[in-house]
């Protein structure tokens, strides 16, 4: 059974239909890149998977949970489906370690000692083992984004969602964050990424999904999709300086 199953999802903001019958499957261990122009529905779809956006019709199952707007069910869902955003959302008055320990302690009832171990392991995975006791303001943007990834990893999720996590970073810092995501892919983490980094999508994602006008316009193995786009819309998107 697919770890993420999206069936005929429609999402509207008033009269504006943002998702128009989207359906897709993600298997355990797959890395799926979502590409497309701004406003094509990529980030909205990601937020629907995590229950951050309500949708009007269709269904989503993720990591064994049916996505519904029920607070208890959403809390259970978010223990298994992590999401990392463009903005880091770290608490400035807490150390890096304290930021990471917070969610496991509050949402999973993990003891302080066990949360400490989880946080240190997560920081090690993102290459920041020596930053446990420092405050976020002492870190670069790339390091803060890696802490945000570590914070999600400490929840031991089955699926990770990344919503344009490098779009606020300069090229050097973007590279260090993408290396962390690439390592997670090698470890077998199931991931969906909204990204504008085409080279990264081509080389790291198993599947690339091109969204256009609220629909999945084209999808397939990344190497094939980039080498031989089938639709004029994807051809134009890839040739329009997006390499």
Q: Is residue 10 pLDDT above 80, yes or no?
A: yes
Q: Is the pLDDT of residue 71 over 70?
A: yes
Number of domains in the chain: 1
pLDDT in tens, 129-153: 999 999 999 999 999 999 999 999 9
Which 3 state secondary structure label does DSSP give 83?
A: strand
* Res 243: pLDDT: 43
The CATH number of whichever domain residue 33 belongs to comes to 3.40.50.300
Cβ contacts of 133 within 8 Å, gap of 6 or more: 95, 96, 97
Q: 195, 34 in Cβ contact below 8 A?
A: yes
Pairing mode, if any, of strands 65-66 and 215-221? unpaired
Q: What percent of the chain lies above the pLDDT cut of 70?
A: 99
Compute the half-sphere exposure of residue 84: CA atoms within 13 Å on the CB side of its CA.
Answer: 31
Question: What does the pLDDT read at residue 169?
Answer: 82
Q: Can you tell me the distance from the alpha carbon of 161 to that of 163, in angstroms, rounded to the nearest whole number?
A: 7
Tokens of 37: 């122009």
56 has a pLDDT exceeding 50 = yes
> Cα dist. 84→108, 232, 238 in Å?
19, 32, 26
CB 215 within 8 A of CB 21: yes
Domain range for 169 is 4-239
pLDDT given at position 241: 53
Distant-in-sequence, close-in-space partners of 170: CB < 8 Å, separation ≥ 6: 141
| Residue pair 128/150 in contact by the 8 Å Cβ criterion | yes
What whole-number distance in Å separates Cα of residue 42 and Cα of residue 90?
A: 24
Summarize pLDDT for 121-133 with one digit per residue, the tens.
999 999 999 999 9
Length of the chain equals 243
């Amino acid at each position: 059974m697919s770890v993420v199953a999206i069936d005929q999802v429609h999402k509207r903001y008033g009269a504006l239909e943002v998702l128009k019958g989207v359906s897709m499957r993600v298997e355990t261990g797959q890395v799926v890149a979502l590409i497309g122009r701004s406003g094509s529905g990529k980030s909205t779809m990601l937020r629907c998977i995590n229950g951050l956006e309500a949708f009007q019709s269709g269904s989503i199952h993720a990591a064994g949970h049916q996505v519904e707007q029920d607070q208890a069910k959403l809390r259970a869902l978010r223990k298994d489906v992590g999401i990392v955003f463009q903005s880091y959302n770290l608490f400035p008055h807490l150390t890096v370690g304290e930021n990471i320990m917070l969610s496991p302690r509050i949402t999973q009832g993990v003891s302080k000692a066990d949360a400490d171990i989880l946080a240190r392991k997560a920081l090690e995975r993102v290459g920041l083992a020596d930053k446990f006791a420092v405050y976020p303001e002492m870190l670069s943007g790339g390091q803060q984004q890696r802490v945000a990834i570590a914070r999600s990893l400490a929840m031991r999720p089955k699926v990770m969602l990344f919503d344009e996590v490098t779009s606020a970073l300069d090229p050097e810092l973007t590279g260090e964050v993408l290396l962390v995501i690439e390592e997670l892919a090698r470890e077998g983490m199931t991931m969906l990424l909204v990204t504008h980094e085409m080279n990264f999508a081509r080389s790291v994602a198993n599947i690339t999904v091109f969204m256009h006008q609220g629909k999945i316009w084209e999808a397939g193995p990344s190497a094939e999709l980039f080498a031989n786009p089938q639709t004029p819309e994807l051809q134009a998107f890839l040739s329009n300086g997006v390499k």
